Structure 1
Amino acid sequence: MNQIMIGKFIAFKRKQKNLTQEQLAQILNISNKTVSKWETGKSMPDYTLVKPLCEALNISVSELIDGQTSNESVKINEDQLIELMRKTQQLENQRVLLYGVIFVTMGTSMQALAYSTDKSYLFGCMLFVSIVELILGLGTIIRYLLK
């Protein structure tokens, strides 16, 4: 999937239907900034919005994923495609959680290592780095949990 190509396709189809980003956002009950992020290729639609987006733009899910209108009558099970997108998004979220856990683990290890030094300049640096890692890790985990 090419996010930029998909974004350009969404913008093209939206303009073809004479819709503004704001109007499309209202149809989908999201913000116009979200539509803008899709169209610039900065993010992809959430799997829960794929079918409503396709209905609003009068395209198929496979056309959305391809980023172009399909002239072929290819039979793709759209429910399976959406399920694949859901699982991909879920894995992406789990990756974020894993980063948080790694940062917390590194911070804890660095703190233990700092206390095993001779309490010099190195101790201060290691303690500072461990605190930063713990804050980053906890922030990442909290952001994951609030999603």
Structure 2
Amino acid sequence: MRGHAMRRVLFAVLVTAIGLVLLLSFKPHDMAGVAQPPAAVAPAQVSPSPSPRGSTKSAGARTFDGDAVDTRWGPVQVRIVVSGSKITDIQVLQAPQENRRDIEINNRALPILQQEALSAQSAQIDSVSGATYTSDGYAGSLQSAIDRAGL
């Protein structure tokens, strides 16, 4: 009798642990109530007359749009602002924002990615923990913008 009760307890613990792992790995995509994307993923202002290569000039600064890189959760695209041969700003044109979790990840990860890229002046940046897909898409789009800028 004792062995049977012990097996039942172990089985219940195992089923509970598996259920918890499955629950924590679930990422919902259809959440109602997500109104506005945060400032970190709000679309950048588009210049009125971009050139065919995705580049514009204004007051000595030039902008270059990177490719939209598809990720598991949606496309990521950035625009760089270049003065001389230096990247002075990076704007996010697209990032996953289907639900509250996407927005939380982007609010945390995108400023870190921007800071690292501006500091490194390249797309050779570390992924942000918990935002691997966004980090990879960001770096890919950034590299294509840097290539367009000839940096």
* TM, length-normalised to structure 2: 0.23
More strand by share: 2
* TM, length-normalised to structure 1: 0.23
More helix by share: 1
